[in-house]
Amino acid sequence: MKRGELCIKKGSGDICGAECGESYGADNREGIFADNGNLRLRQKTLLLHSCCGPCSTSVVERLARDYDITIFFYNPNITDEGEYRRRLEAQRSFIEIFNSSPTAPARVALVVGTYEPNVFIRACEGHEGDPEGGVRCEICFSLRLAKAAEHASLHGFDCFSTTLSVSPHKDHAAIARIGGRLGMQCGVEFIAEDFKKHNGYARSVELSKAYGLYRQSYCGCEFARGGGRPESGDRSKSGCGRLIK
Ligand code: SF4
């Protein structure tokens, strides 16, 4: 709930009536608030940082009934500008397809952050040779989630999250730790769901194929593109994860 709204917790039947400014946990995704004396159902607003269109497909499918979603595309880690444009286009395509579906439970909005690869390159100085999954990746998560937390706070979102955990290559514990810390700093709840669980990654591959989305063959930065992990050859057209045939 936004600060100052009169609220009751979903299903509790217990009117709070205080200007508490508290947010509900992930199991209380909706709220009821007073609108000129009338109680009205309202979904929590979620700023969903997205690493790419393919990873966002299964996350949006999972959350669209429970949250009012705005996708936040901020990815300075994609150091090749042509690649960045292709991924942004895939993100736009997915949102257009999703929003035009008659079965979509809600429309999804898009906010595109500044493309600033130099910020990423500077932040990773000294970690260019780190293996994928090492310190450089934690710096990368922090950069992207810090911008998402800042935007969510500035624009009054109830919570924020990221599609990064869809990938089998991404450390959910690190994402949850970093997102939680930034959420505390910015006063916005971080939804720390591991979106690869419950078939989330396989579903993202399935939906990306069905929608004809561009699926990249490497994570994003020029350092990972050179190889990094020995199994990188398995990642052709895999979104941010390994190809499932
Ligand atoms: S490998 Fe991926 S997560 Fe790690 S620093 Fe590069 S773009 Fe970021």
Atom of ligand 1 nearest to the CA of 132: 1
User: Average pLDDT of the chain?
Assistant: 83
Handedness of CA 68, 74, 78, 80 (dihedral sign): positive
Q: What is the pLDDT of residue 30?
A: 52
Q: Does 149 sit in the ligand 1 pocket, CB within 6 Å?
A: no
Q: What is the pLDDT of residue 39?
A: 64
Q: How far is the CA of 66 from the centre of ligand 1 (A)?
A: 30
Give the residue, out of 75, 223, 231, with the most ligand 1 atoms within 8 A of its beta carbon, to mutate for a pocket test. 223
Q: What is the pLDDT of residue 54?
A: 98
Q: Does 240 sit in the ligand 1 pocket, CB within 6 Å?
A: no
Q: Does 222 sit in the ligand 1 pocket, CB within 6 Å?
A: no
Q: Does 23 sit in the ligand 1 pocket, CB within 6 Å?
A: no
Give me the mean pLDDT over the 184-202 stretch: 98
Going by pLDDT thresholds of 50, 70 and 90, the confidence category of residue 238 is low
Q: Does 136 sit in the ligand 1 pocket, CB within 6 Å?
A: yes
Strands 67-73, 38-49: pairing is: parallel
Give the residue, out of 51, 125, 136, 144, with the most ligand 1 atoms within 8 A of its beta carbon, to mutate for a pocket test. 136
Q: Please, what are the domains in the chain?
A: 43-220 (3.40.50.620)
Q: How many CB atoms neighbour CB 212 within 10 A?
A: 11
Query: Residues 98-128: pLDDT tens digits?
Result: 999 999 999 999 999 999 999 999 999 999 9
Q: What percent of the chain is modeled with pLDDT above 90?
A: 73
Q: Which class for 149: exposed (0-12), middle (13-18), buried (19 or more C-beta within 10 A)? A: buried
Give me the mean pLDDT over the 62-83 stretch: 97
Q: What is the pLDDT of residue 171?
A: 96
* Residue recorded with tokens 């390159």: 121
Give me the mean pLDDT over the 52-68 stretch: 97
Query: Residues 9-40: pLDDT tens digits?
Result: 322 322 233 333 333 333 334 555 555 566 65
Q: How far is the CA of 216 from the centre of ligand 1 (A)?
A: 13
Q: What is the pLDDT of residue 15?
A: 29
Q: How far is the CA of 140 from the centre of ligand 1 (A)?
A: 6
Report the predicted TM-score, pTM, of the whole model to 2 decimal places: 0.81
Q: What is the pLDDT of residue 244?
A: 33
Angle of helix 81-100 relative to helix 200-211, nearest 10 degrees, comes to: 90
Q: Does 53 sit in the ligand 1 pocket, CB within 6 Å?
A: no
